[in-house]
Amino acid sequence: MPISLHAYRDIAAPGRVELLYRLSRQTTGKRILHITADRAGGEIGEILHTLVPLLIDLGLDVRWETMKGSPSFHEAGRILRNGVQGEDVRISDALLDGYREAVQQTGRTLDLTADIVVTHDPHTLGLIDYAPTDSRWIWRCYLDVSRPQRKTWNFLRPYIVKYDGAVFSLPQFAQPLPVPQFLIYPSIDPLSEKNRELEPEEIDRILEKLHIGREKPILLQVSRFTRSKDLRGVIEAYRLIKTQYDCRLVLAGSASPDEPDEQAVLTDIREAAGKDEDIHIVPLPPESSVEINALQRAATIVVQKSKREGFGLSVAEAMWKGKPVIGSETGGITLQIMYGQTGYTANTVEGTAFYARYLLNNPAIAQEMGRRARERARQNFLITRHLEDYLSLIILMGRA
Partner 1 sequence: MNPHPSLTPFQFVGCVELREMLGRKAADLQQLMEGIEEVPADSIYYHTHSYFLRYEYGPTLFPNDFATWVAVSVRDRVLSERLGLIDPFEFRDVEALRAQIVSTIDDHLQSLWNVPRVMHGDPFEFVSSHIIEVDLELSAKSLEEFRDHLATVDRSVLFNHICEAKIRKGRHSGDFILWIGSESGLNLPDLAAQVAAIQPMGLTLEGIRARTLEVLDRYIARPILA
Q: Considering the rule CB under 8 A, would residue 376 count as an interface residue with partner 1?
A: yes
- Write down the least CB distance from residue 104 to partner 1, Å: 32
Q: Considering the rule CB under 8 A, would residue 18 count as an interface residue with partner 1?
A: yes
Q: Would you say 30 and 61 are in contact if contact means Cβ atoms under 8 Å apart?
A: yes
The residue (of 179 and 272) whose beta carbon lies closer to partner 1 is: 179
Which of 67-75, 79-87, 147-155, 372-380 is the region at the interface with partner 1 (rule: CB under 8 A)? 372-380
Q: Which residue in the set 15, 29, 260, 274 belongs to the binding site for partner 1 (CB under 8 A)?
A: 15
The residue (of 113 and 172) whose beta carbon lies closer to partner 1 is: 172
Site string for partner 1, 302-331 (x = CB under 8 A): ---------------------------x--
Count of C-beta atoms within a 10 Å radius of residue 31: 14
- Write down the least CB distance from residue 156 to partner 1, Å: 17
Measured distance CA(400)–CA(397) in Å, rounded: 5
- Write down the least CB distance from residue 380 to partner 1, Å: 7
Q: Which residue in the set 22, 90, 211, 275 belongs to the binding site for partner 1 (CB under 8 A)?
A: 22
Site string for partner 1, 143-172 (x = CB under 8 A): -------------------------x--xx
The residue (of 13 and 210) whose beta carbon lies closer to partner 1 is: 13
Q: Would you say 119 and 58 are in contact if contact means Cβ atoms under 8 Å apart?
A: no
Residues in contact with partner 1, total (CB under 8 A)?
A: 39
Radius of gyration of the chain (CA): 22
Q: Would you say 89 and 140 are in contact if contact means Cβ atoms under 8 Å apart?
A: no
Q: Which residue in the set 339, 350, 358, 362 belongs to the binding site for partner 1 (CB under 8 A)?
A: 339
- Write down the least CB distance from residue 374 to partner 1, Å: 10
Measured distance CA(312)–CA(118) in Å, rounded: 22
Q: Which residue in the set 7, 210, 284, 395 belongs to the binding site for partner 1 (CB under 8 A)?
A: 395
Q: Considering the rule CB under 8 A, would residue 23 count as an interface residue with partner 1?
A: yes
Q: Considering the rule CB under 8 A, would residue 372 count as an interface residue with partner 1?
A: yes
Buried b (16+ CB within 10 A) or exposed e, 186-208: bbbbbbbebbeebeeeebeebbe
Largest CA distance in the chain: 66
Measured distance CA(74)–CA(80) in Å, rounded: 10
Count of C-beta atoms within a 10 Å radius of residue 103: 24
- Write down the least CB distance from residue 396 to partner 1, Å: 6
Q: Considering the rule CB under 8 A, would residue 380 count as an interface residue with partner 1?
A: yes
Phi and psi angles of residue 344, each rounded to the nearest 5 degrees, phi first: -140, 150
Count of C-beta atoms within a 10 Å radius of residue 53: 16
The amino acid that residue 51 corresponds to is: L
Q: Would you say 328 and 309 are in contact if contact means Cβ atoms under 8 Å apart?
A: yes
Q: Would you say 248 and 280 are in contact if contact means Cβ atoms under 8 Å apart?
A: yes
Q: Considering the rule CB under 8 A, would residue 180 count as an interface residue with partner 1?
A: yes
- CA torsion 294-301-42-269 (nearest 10°) is -100
Which element (helix H / strand E) includes 348? none
Q: Considering the rule CB under 8 A, would residue 107 count as an interface residue with partner 1?
A: no
Q: Considering the rule CB under 8 A, would residue 348 count as an interface residue with partner 1?
A: no
Measured distance CA(265)–CA(337) in Å, rounded: 27
What single-letter DSSP state applies at residue 360?
Answer: H
- Write down the least CB distance from residue 206 to partner 1, Å: 31
Q: Considering the rule CB under 8 A, would residue 140 count as an interface residue with partner 1?
A: no
Measured distance CA(32)–CA(40) in Å, rounded: 20
- Write down the least CB distance from residue 187 to partner 1, Å: 15
Which element (helix H / strand E) includes 311? none
Q: Which residue in the set 4, 154, 267, 341 belongs to the binding site for partner 1 (CB under 8 A)?
A: 341
- Write down the least CB distance from residue 50 to partner 1, Å: 19
Measured distance CA(167)–CA(393) in Å, rounded: 10
Q: Considering the rule CB under 8 A, would residue 176 count as an interface residue with partner 1?
A: yes
Enumerate binding residues for partner 1 (CB under 8 A). Answer: 13-16, 18-19, 22-23, 26, 168, 171-172, 174, 176-177, 180-184, 329, 334, 338-341, 372, 375-376, 378-380, 388-389, 391-393, 395-396
